Structure formats: structure tokens, C-alpha cells
Amino acid sequence: MGHAEKNSEEQASIRADSVDAQSTHRRGGWNVVLLMLFCCLALGMVLKLQSGMSRRIGRPGNDQLSQLRAMAVAVSNYVDGNQRILPPAALADSEGRPLHSWRTLLLPLLDERERFEQVDLAQPWDSSRNKTALRQGCPETYRSFSSPVGNPRYTSIFAVTGEETVFPPDGPISMDDIMHADGLSTMLMFTEAHDLKVEWAEPRDIPFNLLNATPAELNGRGPSTAASDRGVFVLFCDGHVATLSPDTNPAVLRALATWNGGEAVSPEEF
């Protein structure tokens, strides 16, 4: 074989090897691209599934915080329009019989004006006249996403009522009175409570005398939660939201619920 022919065959062999190498490289590149595409699709499916699960469980903590903050704004607006007076625990008739809950009175301040305008305040909450407006499902603001599904009209947000609370039976009190007594930042306004089986429009809340146990022991009676990963959400009179430990001392609960008792309560106690 001549020298020229030998060089020609070697060059042809080199070109073939180069083509094979390029082909192999391209196949390897496509394999990487396909692998990356598969990973992206798998990640997308996982994120979509997690998003759907988040929507189904309602993100209890974040949603409950938002709801209580909305209630704080609603109460602030109510107070500003009513000479600094809080809403009554219940709107009563001339004979003192409770007709409507504070929850109904706050409806127009919680984007529920249309429902509120259907209410006849002169008639009891459970009268036939008020069935359309008040026997509907509970507004989301008054529901805890940690509570198991039950009667759609049940609420899980309550006031504590009693002589020494901010919701006394003989009429509403002033935010200024609270501020100049025990102070707004340690005065409990509303609390989460689980399994009390109270319809949201019903003028019934948590009597002060039931605060005789820890939140862990008050399920179905007082401040409590169905959530296992946090404490009980509460809203204070200054508008801030906090959680009560399930083991909060009953004496601390009572101190938080009384506005003129002179008790000094620190956040570390609850």
C-alpha cells in the first residue's frame, strides 16, 4: 500500500471515529436534557400536589391569624364609630332576652354587609324571619380551620362573658376604661375554642366561671384548639394575636379575661 493511500485510510478512520464520538456526545447530551426535563416535570407534579394539599387543609395557622387580624380591624372600626364603646356580647330585647350575637353586629365590617342587611334585629336570631340570613353557613372569619368538619353553622371564635370581662351582661364597656385599668395588651377579647357546638349567630359565648382548667382540659367548654402543633389562638384588645399554651394556668386565663382586676400578667405565663 502506498504512503498516500495509508494516510487516506488513517484520515477516514479518524473522521469515522470523530463522527462516532460526536454521535455519542449528542446522544449523551440528549440523555441529559431528557433527564432534566423528567426531573422538572416530576418536581412540578410534587409542587402542584403540595399546593393542592395546602388548599385542602386551609393552612390553619396562617389563615387563623389573618381572620383574627381582620376581626381586630373590624372591632377597631366599630369602636371608632361608637364613641370608643365595644360591641355588646349580645343585643337584647326590652326584657333582657338575648336576640343577637356580637358576631352578627360585626358582619358589615367583615365584608358581610349584604347578609347583615337581611337581618331583622328586632327578631331573635333563630326566628323564621332571620332564617335566610343567619341560619346559613358560618362566615369564614368565625371558623377555625383546625376544627374537624361538623355543622357548617358552628363557630369556633368566642368572647369570654361575665361581670369582670370586656363583655359584661349589663352592657358594653369602653376601650378607654380598659386602657386605664389593666391595659389593652393583656386583655383577652376573643379566643379560639373547639367543639362547643354553638351556631355562629347564636348569642352564646364562654362564661367566665368556666375558666377553671387549662386549655388542654377545656375542649368543648372553653379556650381550646383541635390543632396538635400549636396553642390556642387569642386576640387581645390592642389588636395583637397570640397563642395560649395548652398548659396555661387557669389563674392566668382568668387574669387575661378580667379588665379591672389589677393582675400583672407577662407573656411568659401563657
pLDDT tens, position by position, 127-151: 999 999 998 899 999 988 666 567 8
pLDDT value at position 227?
87
pLDDT in tens, 23-58: 544 555 555 555 565 555 544 443 443 333 233 223
Kindly write down the DSSP assignment for every residue of 177-201, as one continuous string.
HHHTTT-STT-EEEEE--S---BTT
Please count the other Cβ atoms lying within 10 Å of the Cβ belonging to residue 57.
11
Q: Rounded mean pLDDT of 240-247?
A: 95
pLDDT in tens, 164-173: 999 999 889 9
CA distances from 161 to 41, 54, 67, 102, 218 (A): 55, 35, 21, 11, 16
Please say whether the beta carbons of 102 and 89 come within 8 A.
Answer: yes
Give the position of cell 407577662. Answer: 266
Burial class of residue 21 in the structure, from the number of CB atoms within 10 Å of its CB (0-12 exposed, 13-18 middle, 19+ buried): exposed
pLDDT in tens, 50-108: 333 233 223 445 677 889 999 999 999 999 999 999 999 999 999 999 999 999 999 99
